Structures are given as structure tokens and as C-alpha cells.
Amino acid sequence: VVIGVLSSKNPAERRTPMVPDVAKKLRAQGAEIVMQRGAGAGAYLSEADFPDVQWVDTADEVLARADMLWTVSPPDEATLAQLRPGSTVLGLLAPYGSADRARELAQKNITAFAMELLPRISRAQSMDILSSQGAAAGYQCVLIAAAFCPKFFPMLTYAAGTIRPARVLVIGAGVAGLQAIATAKRLGAMVEGYDVRPETKEQVESLGAKFVDTGVSAAGTGGYARELTEEEKAQQAVKLGKAIAQADVLITTAAVPGKRAPLIVTDEMVRGMKPGAVVVDMAAETGGNVAGTLPNQDVWVGGVRIIGPVNLPSNMPVHASEMFSKNLFNFISPFIKDGALVLDDTDEVLTGATLTANGEVKHPGVKQALG
């Protein structure tokens, strides 16, 4: 099997799906790797770092040879058009993002594995790109907030007295939120966490943060949350409103797969926050958890700064790429035998992550969502 990697056309995407260690292991399994000059540069990797890779100048050359394309983001129109019929694509493919893209992948008989669809089961943890990149994003959120917060995060004793620690509230305690809580704790803040899945209470508390109990529980399927009813939203708003009003920093990470991010923090709640408070809305790209958030912008609502970062893992491309690449390797390497790709359609993890195969959109949830 020939594995292809393109260089990023988007300067804001600095991650690469292939790192030298993984290339070496793939070579040992008999795979060939073809990369476009410039791939990896965003993560400070040069051609000399990849002794196991063949380098070519253009995307055309990669796509003409690749049986399998590894990618950190969905292929654009031009790349889609050039993918070889019958080939395989593997990476983050934003499966719910575009019905046209899914249809085109199917029409071209591409086997597309969207790592967003990976089943969240124990065996698949080492392949879980949403988790590895979510951890990077959660960590970054806190650093951004700390940089803009007009207060110290930790308690500080100085010659003239004592500074009280900043109060940080994290809404959404999945992988990113828990990493945000852990990071804010390490910086010494007083941290509170909140989520609608009841099992998160213990996880939040085990990190030394306080859980905000709203009495709303909304566990959905596959370990994810479901959308809240109007009544539940109202109940959540009352309890959360108090915690939000006291926070110096609010970090929101709430998501429901395949849906717009839940709007949890209303304009009224933002206006009730302390002047100087900083909000980092990690859900900015999927609509935002906070009223007024704009992706990739800072918005001021009264004295409150709302930051809507996008693609946070790209800000730490070295470790984000390393994790990404290892996750992809763990997913596909069991199916590379003597250099050939031998897929097994009885494998629960492989089939779970299949967006398209055999000319069809396979994933039932995506099929339904895209209509």
C-alpha cells in the first residue's frame, strides 16, 4: 500500500498526520509513504527527519500514486476530484459537515474512515483522535484565558498581603473540558466544572475542582450527551447563572455530535459577568456555547471579552501531530499485512469509523443527518 500525505494548503493548519516515528513503523510493515514537499513543515519537520519517505513536488504526484491518503482535515474540492477511485482516505473528515462531500466520496468509491466516527470503546482509545486533539484544545483554552485574564490565576502572597486566586468555570467536562480543568488547577485557580452527563461529577472532583450541580442529567448514546429539553435548559440556566456571574474566566467546551453546539450561556448571563471577565468558547466553530461568540474573533460584550478560537490543536503542532499520527497508525496498522492493505469489514472499530465504502455513505447517523 502506498500512503500519501499532502502539504497543508491552509497556513492556519500546521499539523501533519505523518511523523517520522510512524513513517518508520509503516515502512517496517512494508508500506510505502509518499509525501509532498512542505508536508510537516508547520510542525517543524523537514525532509531529513523522514528517511523512510519518498518526497515529490506536487499534490498531483502524491494523489496519482497513493492508495491511501492520510489527512488532518477534509480534502478540499480539488483534492477530492483527484482522489483515485477505489482508494482509501483516513483522518478527520468532518463527516457531518457536508452532504456533498460524503456523496462525492461515495460516488468515487472511496473508502473513507472519518476518525470523528470512531466508536468510543476501550479498545479504540489508542486511536481516538477526538480525544488527543481535544486534550490539546482544552489545554490551549486555559493558556489563552490566562493570558487575557486581568488577575493572577493562583493565590499569591506578596509583601503587602494576599491575592485571592481567580475563579475559573469550565462548562462541558468531556475530554477537552477535563484537560482545561486540570490545566487551570495546575495554574492555581479555583476551578468549578459542569456537564450534563452525571458520571462527570466524579471526574471533575477527582481533579480537585468543584462540580456545579444543576440537577439536569442528559446522558445520550455512545457515552455522549443528548440535546436538552426546553424545561431542562431553563433549570440548567438558573443554577449555572450563579456560577457564571462569579467567574473570572469561563471556558465552554460543550458539544453534541453532529449537532450545532448547545447555546448555554445567554446574552443576559454574559452581561451579568464581572467586568474584565474572559470567556473562551471552544465551541466557536460549531456555533458557540455562548451568545455573541464569533469564530476566530474577540468580541466585547460590555466589559467581558469573548474569545472564539478555532483549530486550537494547530497552535501546538508538534505534540498534536505526534498524537494524531500515532492514533491513525494504531487504527490502520493491524490491517497492513506484508505491505498490503487488507481491511476487515467485521471489525467493529473499522466499520464504526467508516463514512463511505462500496459506493455508499455507510454511517447510519451521518446518513440520517445529511438526508
Catalytic (active site) residue 57: no
Selected catalytic residue, list 37, 65, 84, 120: 120
Measured distance CA(234)–CA(360) in Å, rounded: 41
Residue position matching grid coordinates 505526534: 322
- For residue 196, the 8-state DSSP code is S
The CB-of-41 to ligand NAD minimum distance in angstroms stands at 29
Q: What are the C-alpha distances in Å from 95 to residues 82, 152, 187, 298, 330?
A: 19, 41, 36, 28, 21
CB of 55 vs ligand NAD, minimal distance in Å? 35
Q: Is 226 a catalytic residue?
A: no
Closer by beta carbon to ligand NAD, 178 or else 277: 178
Name which of 25 and 259 has its Cβ closer to ligand NAD.
Answer: 259
Give the total residue count for the chain: 371
Q: Pairing mode, if any, of strands 88-91 and 249-252?
A: unpaired
From 21, 224, 235, 347, active-site residue = 224
Smallest distance, ligand NAD to C-beta of residue 366, A: 15
Q: Output the smallest distance, CB 158 to ligand NAD, in A.
A: 37
> How does strand 32-36 pair with strand 54-56?
parallel
- Separation between Cα atoms, residue 97 and residue 85, nearest integer Å: 22
CB nearer ligand NAD, residue 151 or residue 197:
197
d(CA 223, CA 200): 11
Q: Which residue type, as a one-letter code, is found at position 281?
A: D
* Nearer Cβ to ligand NAD (131/356): 131
Reply yes or no on whether 36 is catalytic.
no
Residue nearest to ligand NAD (CB): 174
**Active-site residue identified among 131, 132, 179, 321:** 131
Closest distance to ligand NAD from the beta carbon of 113 (Å)? 16
Cβ proximity to ligand NAD: between 118 and 145 the closer is 118
Cell numbers placing 370: 445529511
- Spell out the residues 6+ positions from residue 98 whose beta carbon is closer than 8 angstroms to its own: 74
Q: How far apart are CA 262 and CA 270, in angstroms?
A: 16
319 vs 253: CA distance, rounded Å: 21
Q: Is 82 a residue of the active site?
A: no
Q: Nearest distance from residue 232's CB to ligand NAD, in Å?
A: 8
Where do we find the cell 450561556? 265
* Positive or negative: CA dihedral 177, 179, 183, 188: positive
Q: In this complex, which beta carbon is closest to ligand NAD, that of residue 116 or of residue 248? A: 116
Which is catalytic among the residues 8, 36, 128, 197? 128
What is the amino acid identity at position 295?
P
Q: Looking at 54, 107, 125, 217, which residue is catalytic? A: 125
- Count CA atoms closer than 13 A to 251's CA, side-chain side: 33
Measured CA to CA, the distance from residue 175 to residue 303 in angstroms comes to 30
For the bound state, the minimum distance from the C-beta of residue 284 to ligand NAD, rounded and expressed in Å, comes to 14
List interacting residues with ligand NAD (CB under 6 A).
Answer: 120-122, 124-125, 128, 130-131, 134, 171-177, 195-197, 223-225, 228, 253-257, 262, 264
Q: Which is nearer to ligand NAD, 128 or 322 (CB)?
A: 128
Residue 73 is a catalytic residue: no
Q: How far apart are CA 149 and CA 249, in angstroms?
A: 7
Q: Catalytic residue numbers?
A: 120, 125, 128, 131, 224
